[in-house]
Amino acid sequence: MKTNDFIGMLANQTPSVDRRAPARRFALALLLGLVAAMLLMAAGLGLRPDLTQVVHLPMFWLRLTLPVGIASAAMWLTLRLSRPGVRIGARWAGLAAPVVVAWAGMAVVLARASTDSRVALVLGHTWRVCPILIALLSMPAFAAMLWAVRGMAPVRPRVTGAAVGLLAGATATVAYCLHCPEMSPAFWSTWYLLGMTIPATVGALIGPRVLRW
């Protein structure tokens, strides 16, 4: 058998690769992480008792916009970073947009509030536990998405790990919004972001080890 014929035979016997498999695995990990965060929140913290009333308030949906916006940008970045040879460039600015909007809302609220009440608006009643609870709720999504991204050959594991952690934190924050009683932009523009930063930092630290391939 000639060499070219042998190579052709091997190529013909090679099974086709499903290019959509990594995307499906990532989508499954994201869905499982969100469901797990919702279940943990409902079982461990509980839905806020007036949820059926507050969902009619614009502020409830404005608050939810922050983690949804960050999750959308972080998901896009994670998918890009998970594929070799894909450039990000200035697209990191997409993460800044929801943060800038949230901080603008905080600035307006604090500017209109009296000097004596500004600290209370920032701290609220749950500032001590809010970031920790968000970080804890993010753990299932964090683990699932690290598993999914590991099979997608990322070449910048530290940055990719940070993006995965931020996505997990934002996903957990969406679930946490259904429990959190705080409605002031001054509160959630501060402590929600801190809660999302915790898994992002962990991801940056463990990325080179966990995402190695």
Q: What is the C-alpha to C-alpha distance for residues 124 and 212, in angstroms, rounded to an integer?
A: 41
**Contact criterion met (CB below 8 Å) for 198 and 115:** no
Q: CA nearest 121: which of 108, 139, 138, 134? A: 108
Q: What is the C-alpha to C-alpha distance for residues 76 and 164, in angstroms, rounded to an integer?
A: 10
pLDDT at 17: 46
pLDDT at 2: 55
Q: CA nearest 81: which of 168, 143, 150? A: 150
pLDDT tens, residue order, the chain (213 aa): 556 554 555 445 555 545 566 778 888 999 999 999 999 999 999 999 999 999 999 999 999 999 999 999 999 889 888 877 667 766 677 888 999 999 999 999 999 999 999 999 999 999 999 999 999 999 999 999 999 998 887 888 999 999 999 999 999 999 999 999 999 999 999 999 999 999 999 999 999 998 886
pLDDT at 25: 86
Q: What is the C-alpha to C-alpha distance for residues 40 and 48, in angstroms, rounded to an integer?
A: 14
Where residue 56 falls (left for φ over 0; alpha for ψ -120 to 50; beta otherwise) is alpha
pTM > 0.85: yes or no: yes
Going by the DSSP 8-state scheme, the letter that residue 93 receives in this structure is: H
Q: CA nearest 34: which of 149, 142, 148? A: 142
Q: What is the C-alpha to C-alpha distance for residues 164 and 2, in angstroms, rounded to an integer?
A: 49
The token pair at 211 is 């995402």
pLDDT at 82: 83
DSSP SS3 for 116: helix
pLDDT at 5: 56
Residues listed for the chain: 213
Q: What is the C-alpha to C-alpha distance for residues 31 and 53, in angstroms, rounded to an integer?
A: 27
Q: What is the C-alpha to C-alpha distance for residues 105 and 185, in angstroms, rounded to an integer?
A: 6
